[in-house]
Amino acid sequence: MLKLIKRIQHGTPGFFVELTLERRVKARLKARLTDGSDVGIFLDRGPIMRGGDLLESEEGSIVQVISAPEEVSVIKSEDFHLLMRAAYHLGNRHVPLQLLPNELRYQHDHVLDQMLIGLGINPSFEELPFEPEPGAYGEHGSGHGHIHENSHHHAY
All domains of the chain in start order, with CATH: 2-67 (2.60.260.20), 69-129 (3.30.70.790)
At a CB cut-off of 8 Å and minimum separation 6, what does 90 contact?
97, 104, 106, 112, 116
Q: Is the pLDDT of residue 146 over 60?
A: no
User: What is the pLDDT, as a whole number, of residue 126?
Assistant: 97
Q: What is the mean pLDDT of residues 140-156?
A: 37
Q: Sort strands 15-19 and 62-67 into parallel, antiparallel or unpaired.
A: parallel
Q: Is the pLDDT of residue 141 over 80?
A: no
Q: Is the pLDDT of residue 136 over 80?
A: no
- 61/141: higher pLDDT: 61
Burial profile 56-77: b = 16 or more Cβ within 10 angstroms, e = fewer: bbeeebbbbbbbbebebbbbbe
User: What are 66-120's pLDDT values in tens digits?
Assistant: 999 999 999 999 999 999 999 999 999 999 999 999 999 999 999 999 999 999 9
User: What is the pLDDT, as a whole number, of residue 2?
Assistant: 94
- 124/143: higher pLDDT: 124
Q: Is the pLDDT of residue 143 over 60?
A: no
Q: Is the pLDDT of residue 133 over 70?
A: yes
Q: Is the pLDDT of residue 144 over 80?
A: no
Alpha carbon separation from 19 to 77, 127, 145 (Å, rounded): 28, 13, 19
Q: What is the DSSP letter of 96?
A: -
User: What are 7-33's pLDDT values in tens digits?
Assistant: 999 999 999 999 999 999 999 999 999
Taking residue 143's Cβ as centre, other Cβ atoms within 10 Å add up to: 10
Distance CA 32, CA 17 (A): 7
| Residues of the chain above pLDDT 90, percent | 83
